[in-house]
Chain A
Amino acid sequence: GAGVSQTPSNKVTEKGKYVELRCDPISGHTALYWYRQSLGQGPEFLIYFQGTGAADDSGLPNDRFFAVRPEGSVSTLKIQRTERGDSAVYLCASSRRMGDRNEQYFGPGTRLTVT
């Protein structure tokens, strides 16, 4: 079946602009996660959703970052007033349901470059 998809695969934007990154989870997966992977680092947790609600947003670095999942499927990560330090690969993952033992399936990521 189809895996997690993310669009766009690459996004180049100017400092100060607004961007939206989209994630389509695996059909039927109720839990969705966003991570950020900076160059030379491992993925860093940002936020996760169970259904439509954000169950844990403690990883969002500041109030310029916001994510939504209005219908419990597709999610959008929104970044306002982008800064050069926001440049990274943004990864999305989904799992069948919330729970300790469920495997997370990752998408290929969106590479964001802020110039």
Chain B
Amino acid sequence: AQSVTQLDSQVPVFEEAPVELRCNYSSSVSVYLFWYVQYPNQGLQLLLKYLSGSTLVKGINGFEAEFNKSQTSFHLRKPSVHISDTAEYFCAVSGRYQKVTFGTGTKLQVIP
């Protein structure tokens, strides 16, 4: 079985400040890890993914995440956020048969 924990339901941050959204996972098999973003009234959009190789993954819109196997974490970071980054962010894990398990989401609120 696999699961994802996003401990922070909401994260307020001032514009141009750095942000980290936390994600921890559990899985009994090799994992593929994802971060998705959901803007209001829109579908999910893939920000970045870890499949194998380098543990530091860079995605769209200046986001990056680091896969840490020993801590079973895949935290999302951005050095300087913009108002347009206000959205809900979902961490997800996938196993061999591509059944994706999502976390409960973190709402990022960028304050001007």
Give the tally of cross-chain contacts (CB within 8 A): 62
Q: Give A13 to B12 CA distance when docked, in angstroms.
A: 36
Q: Which of A45, A91, A101 is the one whose CB lies under 8 Å from B99?
A: A45
* Sample of 11 A–B contacts (CB below 8 Å): A3-B43, A4-B43, A35-B100, A41-B105, A58-B99, A59-B99, A98-B98, A100-B51, A104-B100, A107-B43, A109-B43
Q: Which of B14-22, B68-76, B77-85, B89-97 contacts A (4 or more CB under 8 A)?
A: B89-97
Task: Specify the chain A residue showing the minimal Cβ separation from B98.
Answer: A100
Which residues of chain A are near B96, meaning CB under 8 Å?
Answer: 100
Binding site for A on B (CB under 8 A): 4, 6, 32, 36, 41-46, 49, 51, 90, 92, 94-105
Chain A contact surface mostly: loop
Q: Is A85 an interface residue (CB 8 A)?
A: no
Q: Give A98 to B94 CA distance when docked, in angstroms.
A: 13
* Contact between chains at A100 and B44 (CB < 8 Å): no
User: How many Å from the CB of B32 to the closest CB on chain A?
Assistant: 6
Q: Give A109 to B106 CA distance when docked, in angstroms.
A: 19
Which residues of chain A are near B102, meaning CB under 8 Å?
Answer: 35, 42-44
* Contact between chains at B97 and A55 (CB < 8 Å): yes
User: How many Å from the CB of A50 to the closest CB on chain B?
Assistant: 10
Q: Give A102 to B48 CA distance when docked, in angstroms.
A: 12
User: How many Å from the CB of A14 to the closest CB on chain B?
Assistant: 24
Q: Give A45 to B98 CA distance when docked, in angstroms.
A: 10
Q: Give A106 to B44 CA distance when docked, in angstroms.
A: 6
Q: Give A104 to B49 CA distance when docked, in angstroms.
A: 11
User: How many Å from the CB of A113 to the closest CB on chain B?
Assistant: 15
* Contact between chains at A42 and B104 (CB < 8 Å): yes
* Contact between chains at A45 and B101 (CB < 8 Å): yes
Which residues of chain A are near B44, meaning CB under 8 Å?
Answer: 43, 91, 93, 106
Q: Give A103 to B4 CA distance when docked, in angstroms.
A: 18
Which residues of chain A are near B100, meaning CB under 8 Å?
Answer: 33, 35, 43, 45, 104
